[in-house]
Amino acid sequence: MGKRAATKRQKAQAAFQESKFFDEGAQRETQLYAIPGGGWDPAAADGKPRRVQPAHGERHQRYQKTIKPRSENQAQLMQALDEKSLIFAVGPAGTGKTYLAICKAVEALQRGDVARIILSRPAVEAGEQIGFLPGAMEDKLAPYLRPLYDALSDRLSPAQLKHMMAEGLIEIAPIGFMRGRTLNNAFVVIDEAQNCTYTQIKMLLTRLGWHSTMVVTGDPAQSDILPEMSGLKTAADKLENLSDAAVIRLQGEDVVRHPLVAEMLDVL
């Protein structure tokens, strides 16, 4: 009897207690989607959050981290993303170039500032050939666009991301299929642009349409094509003085990954 009673008591103590996970002074963001007559009511009569079971539909609730710059250069990048139409984010790995661009793209889409997000990245292997990839175009490009998906998944729930891609709100646009397009009312992110030739970058930049923002990210020091073929540095240098363009050059001190990464970049 004693052992059975102790086991029940341990289970009761280990049971989930919802009240412990709420702080009246804490700030939290909640997103509700397709919940007729239901959802999350953060202002209950007793002043504490409570659950409301929806009669129909599905609730997608998630915490969303507030994005803040961790360095002066990142602050300049975030300001440029809000104010300029063309932004070059050039710098070493781990400085938040792609992540900040994706975050600003999602914010612009959710505010209604743009109608879609367009993601593009060169399909270049990092020193090895992975061969034929089965599936549709999105399936073939998925391994190359994994870093972009990771950043999107940090800002959107899986259901939101799947829905937006199905509806065309988030579009995967291979560089090879961009010629001839005019990208109006869009937030365009060109990632790993150090693997683009000067001709490719010129073609991509001239796709920019009305009410659109284009962000070009890359690290000229980590090109997977011949250094003399990469057009990122040349294009950034030539466009730096344009009125509605900005070139943000991030450095080793802007690295937000493991501190060892910044040290390795200095010696490698």
Looking at residue 249, what is its pLDDT? 95
Instruction: CATH number for 72-267: choose from 3.40.50.460, 3.40.50.800, 3.40.710.10, 3.40.50.300.
Output: 3.40.50.300
Is there a contact between 92 and 251 (Cβ–Cβ < 8 Å)? yes
Looking at residue 214, what is its pLDDT? 97
Average confidence score pLDDT of the chain: 77
Looking at residue 122, what is its pLDDT? 81
122-180 pLDDT per residue, tens: 866 555 555 566 666 667 666 777 778 888 888 888 889 889 989 999 998 888 788 88
Rounded distance between C-alpha atoms, residue 182 and residue 258, angstroms:
40
By percentage, how much of the chain surpasses pLDDT 70?
68
| Token pair in block for residue 62 | 């998630």
Question: Amino acid letter at 69?
Answer: P
Task: Return the domain boundaries, the chain.
Answer: 26-63, 72-267
pLDDT tops 80 at residue 90: yes
Is there a contact between 78 and 100 (Cβ–Cβ < 8 Å)? yes
When pLDDT is averaged across residues 50-67 and rounded to a whole number, the result is 53
**126-133: which pairs have CB atoms within 8 A and are 24 or more residues apart?**
126/224, 127/224
Contacts of 246 (CB under 8 A, 6+ apart): 76, 80, 83, 84, 86, 87, 88
By percentage, how much of the chain surpasses pLDDT 90?
38
pLDDT tops 90 at residue 221: no
Please name every residue paired with 247 in a beta bridge, in sequence order, or none if there are none.
88
| Token pair in block for residue 99 | 């992540």
Rounded distance between C-alpha atoms, residue 37 and residue 55, angstroms:
7
Among residues 15, 61, 11, 14, which one has the least CA distance to residue 35?
A: 61
pLDDT tops 60 at residue 35: no
Contacts of 69 (CB under 8 A, 6+ apart): 75, 77, 78
Looking at residue 73, what is its pLDDT? 92
Could you give the count of Cα atoms lying within 13 Å of 179 in the half-sphere of its Cβ?
5
Task: Give the chain as a 3 state SS string.
Answer: CHHHHHHHHHHHHHCCCHHHHCCCCCCCCCCCCCCCCCEEECCCCCCCCEEECCCCCCCCCCCCCCCCCCCHHHHHHHHHHHHCCEEEEECCCCCCHHHHHHHHHHHHHHHCCCCEEEEECCCCCCCCCCCCCCCCHHHHHCCCCHHHHHHHHHHCCHHHHHHHHHHCCEEECCHHHCCCCCECCEEEEECCHHHCEHHHHHHHHCCECCCCEEEEEECHHHCCCCCCCECHHHHHHHHCCCCCEEEEECCHHHCCCCHHHHHHHHHC
> How would you classify residue 191: left for phi > 0, otherwise alpha for psi between -120 and 50, otherwise beta?
beta
pLDDT tops 90 at residue 248: yes
Q: What is the value of pTM for the model shown?
A: 0.71
pLDDT tops 70 at residue 14: no
pLDDT tops 50 at residue 37: no
pLDDT tier at 30, thresholds 50, 70, 90: very low
Looking at residue 250, what is its pLDDT? 92
